Structure 1
Amino acid sequence: MQITKPVKQSLPKQITLEIEKAIKNGIFKVGEKIPSEPDLVKEFSVSRNTIREAIQSLIQAGVLESRQGDGTYVLTNDRFEANIFTRLSNSKIQEVHEVRVSLEKEIVKLAAQRRTKDDLIEIKKALDEINATNGSFEENSEVDLKFHLAIAKASHNSIFYDLYKSISEYICFSVAKRLELTLIEEKLISQLHIELYEAIYSQNIEKAQETIDKILEI
């Protein structure tokens, strides 16, 4: 029997993994600047070259972005999300929408089947936040995404959750051609969000899928 010996990881690779872990755990948040090179050198007790190599690796992977004269920012939560964003940016908007529709229908079905009391609390909390928000289009999109992510989490399928999160964030924040909804459409979607929550609460799969279809049509 052939046994592959474990390979000792290089120091830059170890630092890369630690930075990725910090991003995943929310210590370094998406959209925010990571500590400067001197600070990271002090934090990890390694050379500046080691830090630079680790950061460059994450920049090439699409996780970080270097901004001249400003610093290095977190673009995505991990390499998986970075790869998905790259793929989405090279796809037609219609293709992205079709994938999202398929994911949404399966996610609400699983959420209706598997939701727990804690899941319902989180979904309701996000729903209340939607109803309380009357800000800009971007702010409304953010709270709407939070609601749908709470439902995706309630599906208890981590792959579905990660895929949905990547696709939805791309649609909400990266597609400049999205139009603002009319007041009538906003009220209708608000009512449909309530109906979707109630369908998941009562574990009515058919109603949940019918409702998500109506939301996506708008």
Structure 2
Amino acid sequence: MELYLKVRLACAGGMSARAAAKHFNISRDTVRKMLSYSEPPGYRRTAAVRRPKLEAFIPVIDGWLDEDRSVPRKQRHTAKRVFDRLREEHGFTGGYTIIKDYIRDRDQRSREMFVPLAHAPGHGQADFGEALVEIGGVEQKAHFFVLDLPHSDACYVRAYPAAVAEAWMDGHVHAFAFFGVVPLSIVYDNDRCLVSKILPDGTLLVSAQN
């Protein structure tokens, strides 16, 4: 994801696809693909993984996991619990690893099903990236605030000495002025200057300086 962002930042700043390919040591086709999507399309498996020892038990596993949606998170099946129940209640003789792998793949497929292929207008994504720049003949690291509007593929980039809360606020002000509108919503990465801690249940603690 970091390389993806760096390439898009470089090209947004005026670097040609050919120059970007040479600078980042990737093909021009790869650069064009990176510029065609506001976020990485992601890996897609072309064929389903076959698990002969598990196939007869998949309906049982899916049933348990589907039922879990209506119970508190702490009461839901872990891969270990599924494995133990299959052995005790259904005579499963396979290993734990194929259970764990199946549940992981199933969760991944479920997440992908709910990721919209098209972005609704009026929504943005914000993040910070890093790149080496030359200022006054001295090479140094710069932090780039990026606000992206995936629906239109419009992008605003502004460089700062550090990725701090003040830079986040300033970047938003300039981005809104550049676009001429304020997005209905903005999705943020778990940047350390915004999020001080992530609790075990997924709750985000926002930094006090924000």
TM-score (norm 1): 0.25
More strand by percentage: 2
Q: TM-score, normalised by structure 2?
A: 0.26
Q: Which has the larger radius of gyration?
A: 2
